[in-house]
Chains A and B, each alone.
Chain A
Amino acid sequence: MPRKTMIEAIRDAMDVSMGRDEKVVVFGEDVGFFGGVFRCTQGLQAKYGKSRCFDAPINESGIVGTAIGMAAYGLRPCVEIQFADYMYPAYDQLTQEAARIRYRSNGDFTCPIVVRMPTGGGIFGGQTHSQSPEALFTHVSGLKTVVPSNPHDAKGLLIAAIEDPDPVIFLEPKRLYNGPFDGHHERPVTAWSKHELGEVPDGHYTVPLGKAAVRRPGSAVTVLAYGTMVYVAQAAAEETGIDAEVIDLRTLLPLDLDAIVASVKKTGRCVVVHEATMTSGFGAELAALVQEHCFYHLEAPVARVAGWDTPYPHAQEWDYFPGPARVGRALIETMEA
């Protein structure tokens, strides 16, 4: 089976979708001729023409606003916001428009759009190229929020998102574009070509939205993670020798609560990990759900490891990033509690 980087897998998903359905159009800043700053759309304009893949003005509310209009017409736009940090001008269009059009019109109009955006830090992007705003989307009724962690899932989830009848936010952990980064920034990164989840089937397949995956089975403690933190959590488990079960949520909304509850009831312990800031982060929702549904199985308080509640700094990037050492400490503390 061919192995691909996450960038190639994402591109392949759009290629397959555009090939199957002429209603799928792709646009965003630098997306057309150049193929995107991360090259996720490279070659799509040459293959499908300028009407199906084109450059947009630097105007995120315009990109999402026009995509909503296109979806109302009957197209299936898959647009790129160059960095998740740039999505704020589009937030009004996403939260008050895309998310609610089906509901407020009672299905008279719908909004099948996908808004892709690279998320997370670890590339010395500073405070405007490193953010993880997923909780700002999961808090909004009417959106779906997806965070893939590997090329295989990225392709299958993106095709599923494009085919979904409702608006989907597709957050791409940019530190995973080229390999399963585990937080050890001082070491060379393994390439996806050397990882089994870099195996990306040709052609059409989907990974269903709302289904988590167990990345590392274990019996001592459950780690709930998504995106880059899946690999950080696995590294922390290996390095501490704790038999942690690492669950890759893949989709934050709809959330696979059944998979979470089954694992925590089995292990009796839970550590929630994300790169986004702690306070009011998605981890708060996860911790609340775990205590609601698994309280009488818990042997220890649910722990959270997250980005500090500061803007993402530049020079102090690796002090900010919740790496394997911090996750490992939380695992040990949770086991000792």
Chain B
Amino acid sequence: MTDALRFHVPEPEVRPGGAPDFSNVPIPKAGSVPRPPIDVDPRDIRDLAFSIIRVLNRSGEAVGPWAGLLTDDELLEGLRHMMTLRAFDARMQMAQRQGKTSFYMQHLGEEAVATAFRKALQPGDMNFPTYRQAGLLIADGYPMVTMMNQIYSNEADPLKGRQLPIMYSSKEHGFFSISGNLATQYVQAVGWAMASAISGDTKIAAGWIGDGSTAESDFHSALVFASTYKAPVILNVVNNQWAISTFQGIARGGAGTFAARGLGFGIPALRVDGNDYLAVHAVAKWAAERARANFGPTLIEHVTYRAGAHSTSDDPSAYRPKAESDAWPLGDPIVRLKNHLVLRGVWSDERHAQAEAEILDTVIAAQREAEKHGTLHSGNKPSVRDMFEGLYAEMPPHLRRQRQQAGV
């Protein structure tokens, strides 16, 4: 007799009411993963797809072969960027609750990923971000007022009220227009990188995707094209453990890690401690140097944890233990960098508290400035005419007729 087939649906370790359990997330010691040369044969570093590159140890020291790339000033700047992003998020989250906009997505717990990554790129390089990489803009000096104008869809919104809040676009800051669809931007990043190589340029691209969206076919498309044409692109997977309510095991299946997806394509795949500013920066820099030196794409899995809700429309207490975030074994990125800077003797609790207050003032000042231009439900808005403009370079006759019908 043959046994009946069994259907398998993966489940997270715990659900609400249970005790958080990350014993299934092995954390290697900081400094224990080697730093290969950028011209390494991808076959020789397959282990890196299953480990985690870490620089900051539990005492706050920077250790191992990936340490030592950033100066005190650069690290202090990095800390400031992460703190700014966190303060910005808190204010905008509150603004959404106050009805000043329809929607917001915060980065709580993931601040290191995009802010550290941005500093490994050069002017002219292009990111194809998802909705949780505003750190790229903050770290590149994009004005917070402009971000808020976009979030408020007010009269000064550079996108004229056409896009959902936080779907920024800034070519000048190497930040491709966020779509709001998932995974589509990943293969576009590969195309941008191919174009740079076709043109004999020196610029590189970076694609961004979340753990859940790696299940989309565009993820596969991106890896095929990146692999085939050796595109100068960095393919980032931000594994923050949760795709709204779905734990990462549903997208990952039996692969072990998301980084492992790169191996079948011959793409070097590295996992990095996404809550370690120094590690993210070091791995990004390695991948950027590789891409710029014509060695092709690199896949980076940033192992992190989404400490907040997916968006203002989400309630994580419905699907995961409330204290899970506190139990996350890689800690908080801001606290970790702060402790490291204190250990280096260039920072202190007092200075940190003072910086926090200063940053909050700056964010509030930006918010006041933005609100002078209106919020979603009050003050001045983009015109109705703006709804019809800018779809095509030249407005076609049928749209002109409709605009006239609308009386604008």
Residues of A at the B interface (CB closer than 8 Å) are: 25, 51-52, 56-57, 59, 61-62, 65-70, 72-75, 89, 92-93, 96-97, 100-110, 141-142, 144, 165-166, 210, 253-255, 257
Shortest Cβ distance from residue A262 to the other chain B in the assembled complex, whole angstroms:
14
Query: In whole angstroms, how far apart are the Cα atoms of A57 and B265 in the complex?
Result: 13
| Nearest neighbor of B392 in chain A, beta-carbon distance | A166
Per a CB cutoff under 8 Å, which of A72, A107, A210 touches B188? A72
User: Are A61 and B217 in contact, CB atoms less than 8 angstroms apart?
Assistant: yes
Q: In the complex, what residues of B have CB within 8 A of residue A255's CB?
A: 397-398
B396, CB-defined interface residue at 8 Å: yes
Shortest Cβ distance from residue A63 to the other chain B in the assembled complex, whole angstroms:
9
User: Are B218 and A104 in contact, CB atoms less than 8 angstroms apart?
Assistant: no
User: Are B126 and A62 in contact, CB atoms less than 8 angstroms apart?
Assistant: no
Question: Could you mark each residue 214-229 of chain B with 1 if its beta carbon is under 8 Å from any beta carbon of chain A, else 0?
Answer: 0001101110110010
Per a CB cutoff under 8 Å, which of A52, A69, A142 touches B191? A69
B246, CB-defined interface residue at 8 Å: no
| Nearest neighbor of B161 in chain A, beta-carbon distance | A106
User: Are B218 and A61 in contact, CB atoms less than 8 angstroms apart?
Assistant: yes
Query: In whole angstroms, how far apart are the Cα atoms of A93 and B188 in the complex?
Result: 9
Shortest Cβ distance from residue A245 to the other chain B in the assembled complex, whole angstroms:
21
Q: In the complex, what residues of B have CB within 8 A of residue A67's CB?
A: 191
Shortest Cβ distance from residue A260 to the other chain B in the assembled complex, whole angstroms:
12
User: Are A102 and B195 in contact, CB atoms less than 8 angstroms apart?
Assistant: no
Q: In the complex, what residues of B have CB within 8 A of residue A103's CB?
A: 162, 390-391
User: Are B187 and A92 in contact, CB atoms less than 8 angstroms apart?
Assistant: no
Among B158, B179, B194, B398, the most chain A Cβ lie within 10 Å of the Cβ of B194
User: Are B163 and A66 in contact, CB atoms less than 8 angstroms apart?
Assistant: no
Closest 5 CB pairs of A and B: A69-B191, A66-B191, A65-B187, A62-B221, A73-B195
Per a CB cutoff under 8 Å, which of A56, A65, A100, A106 touches B158? A106
User: Are A59 and B184 in contact, CB atoms less than 8 angstroms apart?
Assistant: no
Give 17 pairs: A residue, B residue, CB < 8 Å, sorted on A. Answer: A25-B195, A59-B224, A65-B218, A69-B188, A70-B192, A70-B195, A72-B188, A74-B195, A92-B184, A93-B218, A97-B181, A104-B163, A106-B390, A108-B170, A165-B393, A166-B392, A166-B393
B177, CB-defined interface residue at 8 Å: yes
Query: In whole angstroms, how far apart are the Cα atoms of A92 and B182 in the complex?
Result: 10
Per a CB cutoff under 8 Å, which of B179, B198, B390, B396 touches A102? B390
Query: In whole angstroms, how far apart are the Cα atoms of A72 and B167 in the complex?
Result: 17
Per a CB cutoff under 8 Å, which of A57, A68, A93, A142 touches B391? A142
B193, CB-defined interface residue at 8 Å: yes
| Nearest neighbor of A256 in chain B, beta-carbon distance | B397
User: Are A68 and B228 in contact, CB atoms less than 8 angstroms apart?
Assistant: no
Shortest Cβ distance from residue B179 to the other chain A in the assembled complex, whole angstroms:
6
Q: In the complex, what residues of B have CB within 8 A of residue A97's CB?
A: 179, 181, 184, 188
List which B54-110 residues lie within 8 A (CB) of chain A. none
**Given A73-B199, A92-B184, A104-B392 contact (CB < 8 Å):** no
Query: In whole angstroms, how far apart are the Cα atoms of A106 and B168 in the complex?
Result: 11
**Given A142-B391, A142-B392, A257-B398, A101-B221 contact (CB < 8 Å):** no
User: Are B198 and A72 in contact, CB atoms less than 8 angstroms apart?
Assistant: no
Query: In whole angstroms, how far apart are the Cα atoms of A116 and B191 in the complex?
Result: 18
List which B165-215 residues lie within 8 A (CB) of chain A. 167, 169-171, 176-177, 179, 181, 184, 186-199, 205
Shortest Cβ distance from residue A57 to the other chain B in the assembled complex, whole angstroms:
5
B128, CB-defined interface residue at 8 Å: yes
Q: In the complex, what residues of A have CB within 8 A of residue B163's CB?
A: 104
Residues of B at the A interface (CB closer than 8 Å) are: 126, 128, 158-160, 162-163, 167, 169-171, 176-177, 179, 181, 184, 186-199, 205, 217-218, 220-222, 224-225, 228, 390-393, 396-398
Query: In whole angstroms, how far apart are the Cα atoms of A109 and B171 in the complex?
Result: 7
User: Are B396 and A65 in contact, CB atoms less than 8 angstroms apart?
Assistant: no
Shortest Cβ distance from residue B48 to the other chain A in the assembled complex, whole angstroms:
26
Query: In whole angstroms, how far apart are the Cα atoms of A8 and B181 in the complex?
Result: 39
**Given A97-B179, A105-B159, A142-B391, A254-B397 contact (CB < 8 Å):** yes
Query: In whole angstroms, how far apart are the Cα atoms of A108 and B181 in the complex?
Result: 19
Query: In whole angstroms, how far apart are the Cα atoms of A141 and B389 in the complex?
Result: 12
Shortest Cβ distance from residue A48 to the other chain B in the assembled complex, whole angstroms:
11
Shortest Cβ distance from residue A91 to the other chain B in the assembled complex, whole angstroms:
11
| Nearest neighbor of B189 in chain A, beta-carbon distance | A69
**Given A59-B221, A61-B221, A66-B187 contact (CB < 8 Å):** yes
**Given A59-B225, A65-B187, A104-B163, A72-B396 contact (CB < 8 Å):** no
Query: In whole angstroms, how far apart are the Cα atoms of A56 and B231 in the complex?
Result: 13
| Nearest neighbor of B193 in chain A, beta-carbon distance | A69
User: Are A69 and B128 in contact, CB atoms less than 8 angstroms apart?
Assistant: yes
Shortest Cβ distance from residue B229 to the other chain A in the assembled complex, whole angstroms:
8
| Nearest neighbor of A285 in chain B, beta-carbon distance | B398
Q: In the complex, what residues of B have CB within 8 A of residue A57's CB?
A: 224-225, 228
User: Are B393 and A110 in contact, CB atoms less than 8 angstroms apart?
Assistant: yes
User: Are B194 and A69 in contact, CB atoms less than 8 angstroms apart?
Assistant: yes
Shortest Cβ distance from residue B180 to the other chain A in the assembled complex, whole angstroms:
8
User: Are A108 and B171 in contact, CB atoms less than 8 angstroms apart?
Assistant: yes
| Nearest neighbor of A61 in chain B, beta-carbon distance | B221
**Given A104-B179, A210-B396, A73-B126 contact (CB < 8 Å):** yes
Among A57, A68, A108, A165, the most chain B Cβ lie within 10 Å of the Cβ of A108
User: Are A65 and B390 in contact, CB atoms less than 8 angstroms apart?
Assistant: no
